[in-house]
Structure 1
Amino acid sequence: MKIALLGYGKMGKVIERIALERGHEIVLKKGSQDGFDGLLNADVAIDFSVPDCAVSHISECLNNNIPVISGTTGWLANYSDMVNLCEKQNGSFIYGSNFSLGVNIFFELNAYLAKMMKNLSDYKVSMEEIHHTQKLDAPSGTAISLAQGIIENTEYTDWTLENPLANEIYIDAKRIENIPGTHSVFYDSKVDQIEIKHTAHSREGFALGSVIAAEWIIGKKGVFTMKDVLGI
């Protein structure tokens, strides 16, 4: 499989190594100042860039009939536009706030726990996410996905980084050097606390999941998620 890497920072380099180990070929390594030369030679593109570049990267792929996997976060105000473009072009597109296989299992566990806690009003939910200091967006896309999983299954209606109202989930977003990504969900009452937590040990889990998603999307048309890739 021929892969275009849109974004060639730390994540892009880890994706490159894992893709090569799995027998794939890299036909484009696009930095922020580079063009798209080589994109048309690709079977699929993987975008791990920055929020300001994500929409142009995804659009370029969809307009040229290149399936695209995007793990860039912080641009979701334009997500529906990319979904519409994918449908218009009969393209192939996966966005994931986190491509780690473990995190996607964690998403399902989070939603299941939220359903169990829905009617237990003595418990107040909150979250914490910790990432490296180079991460540009806060809270993380993963934290937003976790919050959304709670909102869809409880009476909560929104999340906040400030002092929460009764219907808001407080997210404590921390930036600490050399932390790949840690996410915790807490349910606190006067008598106890329930906590679920995912800790990434390196970027490799994110990179491997994105390559697996790229392998999966070949030959498929539509807008998908990692739930489709993993069959969960």
Structure 2
Amino acid sequence: MRILLIGYGKMGKTIEQMAVAQGHEIAGRIDHENAQELQKYTSADTDVAIEFTHPASAFENISYCLKNGIPVVSGSTGWLSHFEEAKALCQEYQGAFFYASNYSVGVNLFFHFNEYIARKMQEYQAYGVSIREIHHLQKVDKPSGTGITTAEGILASYKDLEGWVADNPEEKTKLNIASEREPNVVGTHIVTYSSEVDQIELGHVAHSRAGFAEGAVMAAAWLQGRQGVYGMKDLLNL
């Protein structure tokens, strides 16, 4: 594959190493310093774009790819207020769009088990539920996209909760997501069910970015020849 990297920070560089090791070609590298150069890439010289950028630029980057026939895999978070617009663009231009808040196979298994446990635990009202996510100091969005996806998996079963709230455990009508930022942390997510007598936890701790990069390259290869909007559940058949 000829891969266009949109976003060349820690994640972009890790994806590049993974892709090159697998024999793929890097068609180009777009970062904030040369963002205007995105306009020169087309489907004639790019098989797929992998986009990991800032929330402020993600939707614009995705839109460009969809309008210009470039299949796009995005892992940017914090822009999902425009997600329905991206889906509409994908349909309008008969494009291919793959989105996940987290590309780690392990994290997506965590999502799967999280939904299963929530369906069971909502029957036991003695247990309150909460989420804690910990990331590195450079993480811009709070809570993390992975934290929000985790919350959505729980809320699908907890109909009495009125959505999620960030860092406000006193709001009892909503699911609290506590966000912490520490040095040298790749990503940790913990769901806690707590009662007066005991506590149950489901957690995922990332040791490196390699799992995220591997999943993104897998998604890019899987997207080839497809049309529509997809996610990790499609890739992993969950």
Fold shared, TM-score > 0.5 on shorter chain? yes
| Inter-partner Cα distance in structure 1 for 2:178 and 2:223 | 35
Structure 1 residue 153, shift from structure 2 partner: 1.3
The answer (yes or no) to whether the contact 1:128–1:173 under 8 Å persists in 2 is yes
> Which SS does the other structure have where 2:180 is aligned?
strand
Q: Which residue of structure 1 aligns with residue 218 of structure 2?
A: 212
Q: Which amino acid in structure 2 is aligned with residue 227 of structure 1?
A: K
Q: Does 1:25 align with 2:25?
A: yes
Q: Does 1:2 align with 2:7?
A: no
Q: Which residue of structure 2 aligns with residue 203 of structure 1?
A: 209
Which 5+ residue runs of structure 1 have no aligned equivalent?
A: none
Q: Which amino acid in structure 2 is aligned with residue 159 of structure 1?
A: W
Structure 1 residue 166, shift from structure 2 partner: 2.8
Q: Which amino acid in structure 2 is aligned with residue 180 of structure 1?
A: V
Count of paired positions: 232
| Inter-partner Cα distance in structure 1 for 2:156 and 2:55 | 26
Structure 1 residue 171, shift from structure 2 partner: 1.0
The answer (yes or no) to whether the contact 1:55–1:78 under 8 Å persists in 2 is yes
Give 4+ residue runs of structure 1 displaced > 6 Å after superposition: none
Q: Does 1:221 align with 2:224?
A: no
Q: Which residue of structure 2 aligns with residue 160 of structure 1?
A: 165
Q: Deviations over 1:102-134 (max 9, x none)?
A: 000000000000000111110000110000000
Q: Which residue of structure 1 aligns with residue 182 of structure 2?
A: 176
RMSD: 0.9
Q: Which amino acid in structure 1 is aligned with residue 82 of structure 2?
A: N
| Inter-partner Cα distance in structure 1 for 2:162 and 2:42 | 41
The answer (yes or no) to whether the contact 2:42–2:69 under 8 Å persists in 1 is no
| Inter-partner Cα distance in structure 1 for 2:59 and 2:152 | 22
Q: Which residue of structure 2 aligns with residue 11 of structure 1?
A: 11
The answer (yes or no) to whether the contact 2:67–2:93 under 8 Å persists in 1 is yes
The answer (yes or no) to whether the contact 1:62–1:91 under 8 Å persists in 2 is yes
| Inter-partner Cα distance in structure 2 for 1:118 and 1:211 | 36
Q: Which residue of structure 1 aligns with residue 68 of structure 2?
A: 64
| Inter-partner Cα distance in structure 1 for 2:182 and 2:49 | 30
> Which SS does the other structure have where 1:78 is aligned?
helix
| Inter-partner Cα distance in structure 1 for 2:164 and 2:184 | 26
Structure 1 residue 39, shift from structure 2 partner: 4.5
| Inter-partner Cα distance in structure 2 for 1:29 and 1:42 | 12
Aligned in 2, Cα 1:154/1:195: closer, same or farther, shift over 3 Å?
same
Q: Does 1:139 align with 2:143?
A: yes
Q: Which amino acid in structure 2 is aligned with residue 143 of structure 1?
A: G
Q: Which amino acid in structure 2 is aligned with residue 160 of structure 1?
A: V
Q: Deviations over 1:8-40 (max 9, x none)?
A: 011000000000011100011001131213444
| Inter-partner Cα distance in structure 2 for 1:159 and 1:59 | 28
Q: Which amino acid in structure 2 is aligned with residue 110 of structure 1?
A: N
Q: Which residue of structure 1 aligns with residue 52 of structure 2?
A: 48
| Inter-partner Cα distance in structure 1 for 2:71 and 2:19 | 16
Q: Which amino acid in structure 1 is aligned with residue 127 of structure 2?
A: Y
Q: Deviations over 1:135-186 (max 9, x none)?
A: 0000000000000000001232311122343331111100001100000000
Which 5+ residue runs of structure 2 have no aligned equivalent?
A: none
